[in-house]
């Protein structure tokens, strides 16, 4: 599920389950939803500040909730899950306490980890502007009323998410944020983008940089130096 217009300018993403032990019918019904990101350690007792990618933290972040971790392959947490013990709020910032994360050193090893949960694709979301990946792939991408391509896939990055748009000249990465993707119309199969200059094409050179060089300057530059003579 994708929430492109969250206040964090990031997205809530889903991807197909890759566990080979899950049968095909279960794979068709199960998605992984990205619901948060661990930002940095808080205090000395293993607490970690959270960036939430869900409008319903009271439902997603309950004691005992288990999250799949997205971390670099070199991390000791790679391929593991983590269980929430408690979610607290400090100065309107979410802070999580997790099982087996007992001190600040352990918490620091989880900085920038992304949290995913399993969910049923048939589940109806109450969150506004939220979609599953499969609902976006294949949608036409419009710019100034002109179709420039179609969405090929989504890339889920730690800082923000990207729409990979297939165009006649190749794939283009579009940050999936409100300022650049103001409208997603799944019903009509359209995504409207307002990219800044240079995102989709090379900018022309500044005319000020193309001023002609004076002819005399060219002549002077080209003329060989004349050695001084002593009368």
Q: Is the pLDDT of residue 85 over 50?
A: yes
Among 163, 134, 130, which Cα is nearest to 5's?
130
Question: Is residue 23 very low, low, confident or very high in pLDDT (cuts 50, 70, 90)?
Answer: very low
- The b-or-e profile of 97-130 (16+ CB within 10 A means b, else e) is bbeebeeeebbeebeebbbbbbbeeeeebeeebb
Instruction: Kindly report, as residue ranges, where domains of CATH 2.30.30.240 are found in the chain.
Output: 137-192
Q: Do 97 and 106 contact (CB within 8 A), yes or no?
A: no
- Quick one: DSSP state of residue 60? H
158-173 residue pLDDT tens: 667 889 999 998 999 9
Q: Do 110 and 48 contact (CB within 8 A), yes or no?
A: yes
pTM of the model: 0.55
Q: Is the pLDDT of residue 130 over 70?
A: no
Cα separation of 155 and 99, whole Å? 29
Instruction: Kindly report, as residue ranges, where domains of CATH 2.40.30.60 are found in the chain.
Output: 2-131
Average pLDDT across the chain, whole number: 76
Topology of domain 137-192 in CATH is SH3 type barrels. (2.30.30)
> What is the structure's pLDDT at 25?
35
Beta-sheet strand order (sheet of 161-167): 170-175, 161-167, 146-156, 140-143, 190-192, 183-185
Which ranges in 118-222 belong to alpha helices (H)?
A: 133-136, 215-222
Topology of domain 2-131 in CATH is Elongation Factor Tu (Ef-tu); domain 3 (2.40.30)
């Amino acid at each position: 599920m994708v929430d492109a217009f969250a206040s964090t300018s990031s997205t809530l993403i889903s991807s197909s389950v890759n566990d080979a032990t899950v049968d095909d019918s279960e794979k068709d019904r199960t998605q992984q939803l990205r619901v948060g990101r661990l930002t940095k350690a808080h205090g000395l007792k293993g607490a970690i500040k959270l960036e939430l990618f869900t409008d319903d933290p009271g439902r997603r972040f309950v004691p005992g909730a288990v999250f799949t971790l997205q971390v670099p392959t070199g991390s000791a947490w790679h391929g593991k899950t983590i269980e929430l013990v408690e979610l607290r709020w400090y100065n309107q910032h979410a802070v999580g306490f997790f099982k087996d994360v007992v001190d600040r050193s352990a918490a620091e090893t989880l900085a920038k980890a992304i949290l995913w949960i399993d969910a049923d694709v048939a589940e109806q979301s109450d969150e506004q502007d939220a979609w599953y990946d499969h609902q976006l792939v294949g949608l036409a991408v419009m710019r100034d009323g002109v179709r420039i391509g179609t969405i090929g896939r989504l890339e889920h990055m730690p800082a923000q998410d990207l729409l990979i748009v297939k165009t006649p000249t190749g794939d283009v990465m579009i940050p999936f944020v409100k300022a650049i993707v103001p409208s997603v119309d799944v019903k009509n199969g359209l995504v409207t983008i307002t990219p800044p200059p240079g995102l989709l094409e090379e900018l022309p050179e500044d005319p000020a940089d193309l001023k002609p060089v004076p002819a005399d300057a060219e002549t002077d530059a080209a003329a060989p130096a004349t050695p001084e003579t002593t009368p």
